[in-house]
Structure 1
């Protein structure tokens, strides 16, 4: 018995070896290298405190987190309503609509940024519509609103498919029981559907938040008047040649994204969807 157990452990170790080598070579070693480079500048290890002690870095951090939080909230609301509806209703063109909603996955962030400019820039479609009716052209592509629009656009595909899959597993008998007990449609949504979709909200919301925190291409295209942390890192690295600070900020930003994903995994793992 012990001999077979030892063989099983060796086989498990051999199966895990490729994943361990990949993780070490492409994640662990680069992150360790980045971590030590962050402390190689004039500030030393204090560079890792600069993100909260330096006013400019701290402001960029809070702007980044605020944009990511608003993006996550808007994305979850849109994806929840659309995902549940698409999962429960069959109509002509449904498959095409789902494909269109997931299309932004194929677009780089720069392309998404230019699309926002085409909509809400100085010569954008929204401004043209307002001008057609004699109104003033609204230009918000280069503001926090435009940045959120771009982030929401490429975040919806990352959440709507997860929510559709979770909605498919909801037990319809629970909703029927709630209705038979006199529950209004709002009570059914609040007490049955939303709790059942909670694991999907947590997991997909964390991915959305982490993606928005570290997004660079869209921010590079749109963030001309605002400072988010990816743009600050880019400026420190390219314009100021402050490689140590850029590395420290990059490591800190990665740690924030990892923490969000880790907390979401823990929270989602402790809940069970109402599935049949």
Structure 2
């Protein structure tokens, strides 16, 4: 179901809880922070926290559970993490198993939630600067790629960075870098500009996640660290059970983007 772009976060979460909305959240609830989600058994939580701390570009930690089994994230609003995301991914022994619209039947009192900053938050700032964010103007999910940029390991968690891509003309690319540098809590400045092959991407028109977008004559692809990176780390660590958001389907919070900006 299509929703209006300027819907409030709480209204959008209500639509998600009721099953009325199950699509990607890019461009929705402008002004508010969107988060990637990782949910793990408590015995895996400390190592994953260290992985986030060691890799703040792809895994900028915004909030986490106050204790195992807590379904809320008070810092981010009236959240029920079991049903406030449009689509969840379930991993078993590090292998993707299934996508689902809620995790009510999967929840246990041993689970810990991590909310990580998302590039959708800085897209608003890019548009306010007069830049065309192609995935929003074309109404698709942002293209995301597995790169060969290594993350720092922590315990069993390791892997290469996933990156998201948005194309710009050279002058606009410089402006985009300036704008996003003000938002280190939601991935910050790009990690690469130009040749996709230099970071291990064979085909810019075939993203590993999300949708391809048009790259026009004279435009350069810019690549940002992406919050899907933990899904690669989960594959490598192979915990017996883990849950994440589906790529592009974020937790939309009541926290304002302005709270994360460096002025």
TM-score normalized by the length of structure 2:
0.27
TM-score under structure 1 normalisation?
0.26
Query: Relative contact order (C-alpha < 8 Å, sep 6+): which is higher?
Result: 2
